[in-house]
Structure 1
């Protein structure tokens, strides 16, 4: 009897631990996408401009981008399970505060608090995979997390629209409260306790490095998001401040007794290459979210409902393929699947860069599905390859760096490739609303995206040869 119980018992705890991690990733993704559809409603409810209510989204993204590495390191020091439970509880509290917000300012502040919690959840969810599942199943677990992230992104706009239509905008943000409570309960009961580690003298937490990195990333994110497509003196000043902050951060970290990010880890060429490739690939994926709505609405003349349905195809493909991608990674290894994913993205971007306007919805959806499939393969293989080789004491900060590279790609894609699309479209006919102008702008934007994916493929080839 005992041998039978020893084999059967571990599967249930592992499954429940994975479920809690998956729900944590789902909450963080849902927090990003669910408010987008509600921005017009919020502008009307608070009698505010679109530029003002846009900070409901920006505050969340800024908090994640500026703090995700710091909370990863904090998890390495204080305990990842303990900090993740605190992050889930904070996210649930901030969601309730968002739903009860009496003014737009309070709502924006609550969203920033929610973003801090989401940073904790995103970084430590990935880091805890190594402690919750066997190493041979890491790829499958990473694929599952990718699926939940895609599901959260896909269902956010439709769920938010449904709740606003039936119950008002407050229901849109309150829906994550019961889900947060369930996630916390599952994580508390089923996440494994941290393995005991020998007591060693600690030099403490790098507060100065944390502050410098947060200010540097905040300046970069603001430089990329302010101005709505135009790059003025304020954007330039913020970008210069970000460059100076980066230099000062490197100077401080090289001399810190217990640095936030040990600069020695970047001597690992595999890790450095993986971070750069992740940023490049995510920049391209953000272009699909920025350019796609314009092309479908103004290029193909689709109404809003059909635009939303077509845009959901990408996240649905990612949701359906991430878990199989993880199994493929476990079987064939990370390098082959990395090349396969990047190769698929090259083919998809090539198709979009040569897409004639007369090809219609099918002409757009087919290469977009190839791009999304390639992205799901690449992300699963890339994340698995990095996290499988990380030492126990660096899991949090490395997971934070992976998420940071993704967020920087999102910010850069929205701003830089968004600006490329705007300039290419207006250069065609001096009228952004003209279908031919939109089609021309999309082709040029994905030609640039093709170059970026090509760069990632070259990096992968060089990294393999070394």
Structure 2
């Protein structure tokens, strides 16, 4: 095989890795009754398998990019895929909920080492003027993984919910074997003893500002899916399948527009695009949470999916397109804040929904529409 074709396959493997992470995290969402029935627990108790994956994933990602740069990007990604494969098999074989939760936690830790390093690898082989479009494609793959996970998990559960984890193990082994583009240069840098980035290089004030925008952007958009589902049932009387279709428009819109969002970022700049997208996303959240016309809610929820991709691709481009000493660590911090936003949204907004459903949408919309642009504009003036 020619070197050019080998490099192309490795880039394709990076995109596939972007799909795998969100897919593995969300694949259990639609098969919780089957998991609970098999393991002898309630569906509500089985839902802890979502938290068991997400919290270690977000927490370890604060430092995974920096550690991966220190240990060697290629070596770290391959070991992470191997750990993901082993933990996926452990999920497939788990006889009790406790063992399943432990294996899911290890899955989350392994994924925390792949996502930021894959992004850094893409940035390393992409000209800066094309970075937004490439990261947009990666974002589309992540959106595709998140959107398709409940459907594929549900189909798998029709046969045996454990099969989905076997497939995850096989795919992660294949991705680990594919390697990364630029791995020779990465290995040579390690051999020369070139200094790796330090965590303090990633935890700078500009990076933390961008990370806070990611926290708001995902917490106030993708993190509000559960509230839209609540409204679907309480206001419109939708069935579970109908609520699933309503939520799917967010991901589908993101998939279809992520690369174009990256193209806008290449032309306008990441920060300007975020300043435009945040109020648009905030307006979509306000309408989705207050208007009692189902078609309108579906349309604006799709618009929220577009805005979320503009913000998420924008924050990744902002840190990976900078000249910082630890770009891999910086994007790791940003991604960590993003998923902490998703984890914080249900905890913060469910009590507000109980007080008044509209309030639970108004508060995140105001934070996104006002705080996010101010953070970006303040960072631009420095």
TM over 0.5: yes
d(CA) in 2 for partners of 1:375, 1:151 = 14
Find 1:383's aligned residue among 301, 313, 316: 316
Cα displacement (A) at 1:386? 1.1
Cα displacement (A) at 1:259? 9.6
Cα displacement (A) at 1:451? 1.2
Report the counterpart of residue 58 of structure 1 in structure 2.
51
Cα displacement (A) at 1:331? 2.5
Q: 1:421-444, CA deviations, whole angstroms, 9 ceiling, x for partnerless residues?
A: 1232xxxxxxxxxxxxxxxx0x22
Report the counterpart of residue 408 of structure 1 in structure 2.
340
Report the counterpart of residue 295 of structure 2 in structure 1.
362
Cα displacement (A) at 1:75? 0.9
- TM-score, normalisation: structure 1: 0.76
Find 1:446's aligned residue among 338, 346, 361: 361
Relative contact order, CA 8 A, sep 6+: which one is greater? 2
Mean Cα displacement is larger for which, 43-52 or 102-111?
43-52
Find 1:344's aligned residue among 250, 261, 280: 280
Q: 1:97-154, CA deviations, whole angstroms, 9 ceiling, x for partnerless residues?
A: 2112222222111111111111111121112122232222211121111111100110
Find 1:457's aligned residue among 342, 361, 373: 373
d(CA) in 1 for partners of 2:197, 2:73 = 18
Cα displacement (A) at 1:69? 2.3
Change (3 A) 1:201 1:457: closer
Change (3 A) 1:259 1:129: closer
d(CA) in 2 for partners of 1:272, 1:101 = 39
Report the counterpart of residue 221 of structure 1 in structure 2.
none
Is the CA contact (8 Å cut-off) linking 1:347 and 1:370 kept in structure 2? no
Is the CA contact (8 Å cut-off) linking 2:211 and 2:335 kept in structure 1? no
SS at match of 1:193: helix
Report the counterpart of residue 282 of structure 1 in structure 2.
218
Alignment map for 1:83-162 (pairs within 5 Å): 83-162=76-155
Q: 1:395-445, CA deviations, whole angstroms, 9 ceiling, x for partnerless residues?
A: 331121011110111111121022221232xxxxxxxxxxxxxxxx0x221
Is the CA contact (8 Å cut-off) linking 2:275 and 2:372 kept in structure 1? no
Is the CA contact (8 Å cut-off) linking 1:282 and 1:413 kept in structure 2? no
Is the CA contact (8 Å cut-off) linking 2:197 and 2:329 kept in structure 1? no
Cα displacement (A) at 1:377? 0.9
Find 1:170's aligned residue among 162, 165, 171: 162
Q: Report which of the two structures shows the higher radius of gyration computed on alpha carbons.
A: 1
Change (3 A) 1:338 1:100: same
Across the aligned residues of Structure 1 and Structure 2, the Cα RMSD in angstroms comes to 2.3
d(CA) in 1 for partners of 2:104, 2:114 = 15
d(CA) in 2 for partners of 1:285, 1:11 = 39
Mean Cα displacement is larger for which, 40-49 or 10-19?
10-19
Cα displacement (A) at 1:89? 1.6
Change (3 A) 1:19 1:160: same
Q: How many residues align?
A: 378
Q: 1:208-263, CA deviations, whole angstroms, 9 ceiling, x for partnerless residues?
A: xxxxxxxxxxxxxxxxxxxxxxxxxxxxxxxxxxxxxxxxxxxxxxxxxx99621x
d(CA) in 2 for partners of 1:462, 1:65 = 26
Report the counterpart of residue 418 of structure 1 in structure 2.
350
d(CA) in 1 for partners of 2:6, 2:225 = 37
d(CA) in 2 for partners of 1:91, 1:446 = 36
SS at match of 2:183: coil
